[in-house]
Structure 1
Amino acid sequence: MDIIFSDCSVRYGERTALEPLSLRIEGARLGVIGLNGSGKTTFARLINGLSLPSTGRVTVNGIETSAEPERARTEAGFVFQNPQNQLIMPVVEEDIMFGLRARGLKACAAEERAAEALARFGIEALARRRVHELSGGELQLAAMASVWALRPRILVLDEPTNQLDLRNRRRVIDAIDAMPEDAVVVTHDLSFAAHMPRLLLFHGGRLLADGAPDETIARYHEIAGC
């Protein structure tokens, strides 16, 4: 991935969610940490055009998000912190196919792509399951499969292990690790973040640290007082 923030800031009325930021992100994996309200989710949403900069610009693999937000969302898929807000159809397979049909795929091609996505994340058994019956880990994997099926080159995942038990946390992490696509992972899970090659730390809407996980996590502990 090649993501460039050029003097990018985000304001909501009088509140500044992200102070001006200039940054280049390359490589296959990036971790993002910070306390609640630090600006990390705003940063992540800027990558695929869910949020647009108030000043400056963001380009993702050469696509400027403000100029081409729809194309940016095709390039970078976003998996929300709460997958129940993302899965809109009652049955898992139907949800995956819904996004594909909206992109213009015919029914047979959408069904084939949905089966591929379910297999990719090892959740073939969930195909006909109703979304409201799934566990937290199953919901997260279903949401990831639904976004992955659209073939983005980058996946942005917001707190993918949030509130999961140890077994489902492991399943989700293993699925992320196995993805050939590039990934930006926003997380409070510091043991997961520690395995990222590069880690960003946000605090108070500012990028406070950018570097190796051990140094960045040590800085996080300093500001968290733990």
Structure 2
Amino acid sequence: MESGIHLQDVSLTLQGKPVLAGITLHLTEPRIGLIGRNGSGKTSLLRLIAGLVAPTSGSLRVEGARPSDRKAMLGALGILFQNPDHQILFPTVIEELAFGLIQQGIPKPQALTRARAALAAEGRAHWENAPTHSLSQGQRQYLCLLSVLLMQPRWLLLDEPFAALDLPTQARLRRRLDALPQRLVTISHAPEAVQACQRVLWLEEGRLRADGAPDQVLPEFGAEMARRGAVDADTDL
């Protein structure tokens, strides 16, 4: 099987507006950061890799499969959105956890058994029948992560996973993510969130502006953000 995520000259246009242009990448590192300003195309790139949108041109493979191959992608990668309410589909925790397993072809009774075991292993067996809307923001984010991990993907795509969480919840989620065996691609506009990555990609206006080690990319990114912040007008937005 072809390893990693391959993008070759990928472009994306949505509603007549260019969003990504000429992106060529081969991603294999255990921890990859994706930085850029709001509107730079970061989330669009993750959605494209996940198969939620199709490229306008170019080619894309995830572990040798096309993102449009939904069966292959279920085991290849999972995505964690910034807002868990954009991801949760079911009214109870146990239903939400079992859904992905059922999508993978696991019979519902076995899926429910696995979901209960996962909750017990996390010390959250009491969540089983809890309404998903009754959980806090951080708890719903954690539920989404557990739902994805139950499907045992090889990659996790994380879209600003810490942005809406308080500091203690951020710390707990970060410890959990750091311990995972999966390869992680983490979106952030905050350099400190990707400082420990092996590789950092900087998107600017839908194009790859820099690609390298954090100590190479982040100082340049910080300097550019400081330069832009020193200008009163935001005419580039």
Question: For the residues of structure 2 that align with 1:205 and 1:116, how far apart are their CA atoms?
Answer: 42
What is the rounded CA distance, in whole Å, between the counterparts of 2:67 and 2:144 in structure 1? 23
Alignment of 1:69-88 (within 5 A): 69-88=70-89
- Change beyond 3 A, Cα 1:119–1:209: farther
For residues 114-129 of structure 1, the aligned pairs below 5 Å read: 114-118=115-119, 123-129=124-130
Provide the TM-score with structure 1 as the length reference: 0.91
Rounded Cα–Cα distance in structure 1 between residues aligned with 2:31 and 2:114: 25
1:223–1:119 Cα change, 3 Å: farther
Match of 1:45, SS? helix
Cα 1:220/1:118, change in 2 over 3 Å: farther
Measure the CA separation in 2 of the matches of 1:73 and 1:107. 17
What one-letter code is carried by the residue in structure 2 that aligns with 1:91? T
Spell out the pairing of 1:38-187 with structure 2 (5 A cutoff): 38-66=40-68, 68-118=69-119, 123-187=124-188
The corresponding residue for 1:27 is 29
- Is contact 2:34-2:186 (8 Å) kept? yes
- Distance in 2 between the 1:12 and 1:174 partners? 36
Task: Evaluate the alpha carbon distance shift between residue 102 and residue 73 of structure 1 in structure 2; reply closer, same or farther with a 3 A threshold.
Answer: closer
Provide closer, same or farther for how the CA distance between residues 175 and 119 of structure 1 changes in structure 2, counting only shifts above 3 A: farther
1:95 corresponds to which letter in structure 2?
A: E
Shift of 1:65: 2.4
The answer as to whether partners of 1:123 and 1:141 remain within 8 angstroms in 2 is no
Determine the structure 2 residue equivalent to 1:224.
225
* Cα gap change, 1:134 to 1:54, in 2 (>3 Å): same
State the aligned residue count. 225
Tell me by how many angstroms 1:179 deviates. Answer: 1.0
Unaligned runs of 5+ in 1: none
2: distance between equivalents of 1:178 and 1:137? Answer: 18
Change (3 A) 1:122 1:22: farther
C-alpha distance 87-13 of structure 1, shift in aligned 2 (>3 A): closer
Aligned-partner SS, 1:161: coil
Letter in 2 for 1:26: T
Which amino acid letter does the alignment assign opposite residue 115 of structure 1?
Answer: R
Q: How far is 1:57 from its partner?
A: 0.7
Alignment TM-score, normalising by the size of structure 2: 0.87
Match for 1:160: what amino acid?
P
2:192 equivalent in structure 1 = 191
Contact persistence 1:34–1:188 (CA under 8 A): yes
Amino acid at match of 1:93: I
Name the % identity. Answer: 35
CA RMSD in angstroms comes to 1.9
Asked if the contact 2:82/2:163 (under 8 Å) is kept, the reply is: yes
Read off the aligned partner of 1:2 and give its amino acid letter: G
Distance verdict in 2 for CA 1:27–1:125, change over 3 Å: farther
Whole-angstrom distance in 2 between the partners of 1:123 and 1:207: 41
The answer for the alignment partner of 1:4 in structure 2 is 6
* 1:15 has 2:31 as partner: no
1:193–1:213 contact (8 Å) kept in structure 2: yes
Cα distance in 1 for residues equivalent to 2:209 and 2:123: 37
**What residue ranges of structure 2 are gaps of 5+ in the alignment?**
230-237
Instruction: State the structure with more CA Rg.
Output: 2
